[in-house]
Amino acid sequence: MKKDTSLFLDEAKINIKAGDGGPGIVSFFLLKGSHKKIASGGSGGKGGDIIFKATKSISTLYGFKKKIHFKAENGQQGMPNNRQGRKGKDCIIYVPVGTIIKDNGVVCADLNEEGAQYVAAVGGIGGRGNASFVSQQRRFPGFAEKGEKVSDRWVSLELRLLADVALVGFPNAGKSAIISKISAAKPKIADYPFTTLTPNLGVVSVDNDSFVVADIPGLIEGAHSGIGLGDKFLRHIMRSKLVVYVLDLEVFLRNGEIDLINTFKILRNELKLYDTSLYKKSYFIVINKIDLVSQQDKVLVEKLENIKRKLRMISKRQVLQISAVTGKGLSELIKLMYEKLLKEKQINEKLTDEKILSEKLLFEDDLKLRKLNLSAEVKPLKQLPKKTKGAAYKVYSLNSLDKDLKKKFDLDKIEVIKQGNEYIIKNENLERMVSMTDLENEEALEYLKDKLKKMGIGDKLKKMGVPIGSTVIIKDLVFELLD
């Protein structure tokens, strides 16, 4: 059966939207046998989240070609008797293991393990019901909050295959033939360039262990800039621990020694231009198709040995001669791959151990410093001194609570945009607070006004250079800045 390469998709762009928060409600409970009423409006439920989850049951992003819009459920509105609305159901989006999620080009998550999750969009906060606003000054609040509205946005998905070894070479170098012989993978093999149009993965077994090899579609000069197919699949080498450069002996037989050596140099340069981290990866060289040279032809055999010596001098790496057709040298290839991977694993484990030790030492030093600071600054209170005339004790007032409120809303990050005589205020928390207020309800409007006053918004804006008498806009709220 012919493999449908069109089903392999390693890039996708989708639209996601978390659920809106449910609105709170205004409700009163009348006490039996009296005319007393108690505010009992419940708060709305939180909106559902958008969650990406990695699974091995999917190997491509092809499913996102048909469906690109994903929306979580909205939170339910509050209910009487102070009952909270139900939380909206989360929208779980399953992606292949190895998927990277980007927002405006910035990597947000790398789901490189089975079951790894990433919350890409958080559901809106449920609005508070009128029962939440009861106070000594406000015994029968006749207003409730709206649920928080959440905007949709586009995110990019990028699949990077999880392979230990990447076979890299020019088209028709025999990479697919190699992977078909050293593993159970069955890629398409033919004697013309660009036979492989999608990466192939094969599992290679060594004793009781195994590793994964990826056959990357052929690279050509200029691949890093979009020429040929190479640049489309170079990202799949990023996760590999080892790169094997596969050189085609036919190049030597057709064009000579210099062209074969230049093939290696071009491949190295393409990886360097695409990403320097690829260039720095551990590697070795394989010359494939040695079955084309008869061992009886002493001249060609000597020339081939000379090429090996030159490649070894240039690369300072091992060079193997193999034949994917006859199987010659394949056992040595598997052995060398495995040895190199074990060495890389040991290096990574050592670096991880050193990092953990370094972080532990930093933590211990920080802890010692904190203890020293505490012992220097905090003295144990043995006995309260008798109050003398003029003595002052710290009193916790409403102003100190207001400081906590200001800190909570992060007022230092206020952005003011001037448009004519109007000043538009940008602050995520302030905008959320305004958007959740029912501005058509006078009581709700008074509550918002009182809250902004306690937060010292007016004083903050004056310090930022907003003139008195100016029109200030926060979301849908428009007011005049007074002295």
Strand 99-103 and strand 28-30: the pairing is unpaired
Cα–Cα nearest to 74, from 149, 132, 16: 149
Cα–Cα nearest to 132, from 86, 85, 88: 85
* Runs of H (alpha helix) within 281-421: 298-315, 330-377, 398-408
CB-CB contact of 78 with 41 (8 Å): yes
- Looking at residue 335, its pLDDT comes to 93
- Looking at residue 381, its pLDDT comes to 36
Strand 50-55 and strand 91-96: the pairing is parallel
Q: Is the pTM of this model over 0.85?
A: no
Sheet order of strands, 471-474 included? 415-419, 422-426, 471-474, 477-480
pLDDT in tens, the chain (483 residues): 344 444 567 789 999 999 999 999 999 988 777 778 899 999 999 999 999 999 988 878 888 988 999 999 999 999 999 999 999 999 999 998 889 999 998 999 989 889 999 999 999 999 999 999 998 888 899 999 999 999 999 999 988 877 889 999 888 888 888 988 888 766 554 443 444 456 778 888 888 888 888 888 767 676 555 555 445 667 778 888 999 999 999 999 888 889 999 999 999 988 888 888 888 999 999 999 999 988 888 888 899 999 999 999 999 999 999 999 999 999 999 999 999 999 988 887 777 666 666 766 676 666 666 555 544 444 443 343 444 444 333 333 333 334 444 444 555 578 888 888 889 989 888 999 999 999 999 999 999 999 988 888 888 888 888 888 889 999 899 988 887
- Looking at residue 194, its pLDDT comes to 40
Structural domains of the chain ordered from first start:
8-159 (2.70.210.12), 165-347 (3.40.50.300), 398-480 (3.30.300.350)
Query: Largest alpha-carbon pair distance within the chain?
Result: 114
Q: Please say whether the dihedral angle defined by the alpha carbons of residues 206, 212, 217 and 221, taken in this order, is positive or negative.
A: negative
The tokens describing 302, both together, are: 């000597």
| Residue type at 410 in one-letter notation | D
Strand 117-121 and strand 106-111: the pairing is unpaired
- Looking at residue 6, its pLDDT comes to 46
The tokens describing 125, both together, are: 């906060």
The tokens describing 63, both together, are: 């499913």
- Mind listing the pLDDT tens digit for each residue in 48-86? 999 999 998 887 888 898 899 999 999 999 999 999 999
* Rounded-to-5 percentages of helix, strand, coil across the chain: 35, 20, 45
How many helices (H) does the chain have, and how many strands (E)?
11, 20
Q: Please say whether the dihedral angle defined by the alpha carbons of residues 259, 263, 268 and 270, taken in this order, is positive or negative.
A: positive
Q: Is residue 142 helix, strand or coil?
A: coil
- Looking at residue 223, its pLDDT comes to 53
- Looking at residue 149, its pLDDT comes to 94
Strand partners, 110: 100
Q: Is 195 exposed, middle or buried (0-12, 13-18, 19+ CB in 10 A)?
A: middle
What is the CA angle 392-398-403, rounded to 5?
100
Residue carrying the six token digits 């339910």: 76
Strand 69-71 and strand 11-17: the pairing is parallel
Q: Please say whether the dihedral angle defined by the alpha carbons of residues 306, 307, 308 and 313, taken in this order, is positive or negative.
A: positive
Strand partners, 111: 99
Residue carrying the six token digits 């509205």: 149
| Residue type at 348 in one-letter notation | N
